[in-house]
Amino acid sequence: MSMLGMKWKLHGTGKSIKPGHVVAPDERLAWPLTIGVGMQHVVAMFGATFLVPIITGMPPATTLFFSGIGTLLFLVITKGRVPSYLGSSFAFIAPIMASQQQFGVPGALGGVVLAGVALALIGAIVQKFGAGWINRLMPPIVTGAIVALIGLNLAPAAKMNFDAAPVTAVITLATIILVSVLFRGIVGRLSILVGVVVGYLVAMLRGEVSYEKMEAAAWIGLPHFQTPEFHVGVLGLFVPVVLVLVAENIGHVKSVAAMTGQNLDGVSGRALMADGAATVLAGIGGGSGTTTYAENIGVMAATKVYSTAAYWVAGVFAIVLSFSPKFGELIATVPPGVLGGAATMLYGMIGILGVKIWVQNKVNFSNPVNLTTAAVALIIGIADYTWTIGELTFTGIALGSAAALVIYHGMKAIAKVRGSVAEPEAEQAGLPPAVKAAVNAAAKRAQKKR
């Protein structure tokens, strides 16, 4: 059991946590408390995980099933060292919707499988050689640009749903905004879920919800499984997603390491492989691609419980819920207006996460390499440029991601040969403007002397 990470020590008496202490991944509280925390993790991921299949037209129950299976698989592969729930990744929304238009749902699932395989292979390389090469390939300016353009590329989809029922959408969005600032702790962190619930109630009162499929569905039954088809044309849509999943996954591992005070660098490759394997399984059976969830980091920060036992409970609970077709159809009744209000916030949040990466890493936009990389990539992604070569169609996300990589590394190589860029890539924190100007001037003089 220890090889599977399922051998937990009881934390203290198992009934409380002392101030300044946390329940470590290899510890647990008493089982009633652990089960309660585990169910809380499922609630935390509900709002975000279900929005992906609802927006993309995938079966919610199937997505829930594979998120539970993926979570358990993740815990096994990482040997219980990394507490995490694997929910639906927003990065898959745009490529799934685009590929469905060309190749239908099976073609989109094929893209999910290919993305999972690529992610697992990257994880194997990271486990063997470390993650340093990823940081060199995708420095903060590139990673931030890719994450931002994926979120902003989805803006038209949010507007389309918003326009379908503007009143419901406005109320949903307003609720999300207010809950996030009115409440502390877990309620504030579940603002999207609360907003969706309030918006749904408004939609019911306005007659915008249909229960025909839910009433016809059985209480107990298997989720709807569907097999993938593979087309070369989906490669350009799904490759950029892999880069985002890598950034999300590594960021999650680092966050957990910081909160628990443990060094998890040695398991970062396993975490990527586990996420990749879970995404492959989801694609094979008809679910959405998975990723580690920030919502559940919020639950851990609020409860101080990092026990992987709680995640085993969460994974099992999610699987049990997925075997109720009626529950799945109930989730699928969420109307466009509610989706439009929630998506306005969600897609914008994805875009701002890219900006957050720039801010946290103090990216210096006085450096023309950084400025050009971000500027071109964002416009290509937001405007959704397309390029068709035979069966391959590259859309804004793929082209914007490629532009970020090519422009950054190309300009950096030329600038290094020519000695033409003196500004540092990161802001010089803590220095007054006058000192920064002096440092930059000295750097320019040094370049000229060469």
**Per-residue pLDDT tens digits for 75-101:** 999 888 888 888 888 778 878 888 888
Reported as a pLDDT band with limits 50, 70 and 90, residue 140 is confident
Interatomic CA distance for residues 305 and 423, integer angstroms: 44
Q: Among 34-38, 83-87, 349-353, whose mean pLDDT is lowest?
A: 349-353
Nearest to 31 by CA among 8, 51, 52, 50: 8
Structure-block tokens of residue 432: 């007054």
Report how far Cα 226 is from the mean position of its chain's Cα atoms: 23
Predicted TM-score of the model (pTM): 0.71
Share of the chain above pLDDT 90, in %: 21
Give the pLDDT confidence score for residue 13 in this predicted structure.
82
Average pLDDT across the chain, whole number: 82
Interatomic CA distance for residues 246 and 189, integer angstroms: 24
Position with higher pLDDT, 132 vs 31: 31
106-291-301 Cα angle (round to 5): 155
Give the pLDDT confidence score for residue 199 in this predicted structure.
92
**Contact indicator for 315, 112 with CB cutoff of 8 Å:** no
Position with higher pLDDT, 14 vs 260: 14
Nearest to 343 by CA among 208, 207, 206, 152: 152
Tens-place pLDDT, residues 225-283: 888 988 887 877 787 788 778 877 877 777 677 777 777 778 888 999 999 999 999 99
Interatomic CA distance for residues 215 and 211, integer angstroms: 6
Q: Among 106-120, 268-282, 351-365, 410-424, whose mean pLDDT is lowest?
A: 410-424
Give the pLDDT confidence score for residue 360 in this predicted structure.
82
Tokens 């009744």 — which residue? 333
Share of the chain above pLDDT 70, in %: 87
Tens-place pLDDT, residues 154-210: 788 788 889 989 999 999 999 989 988 888 665 666 677 788 889 999 999 998 888
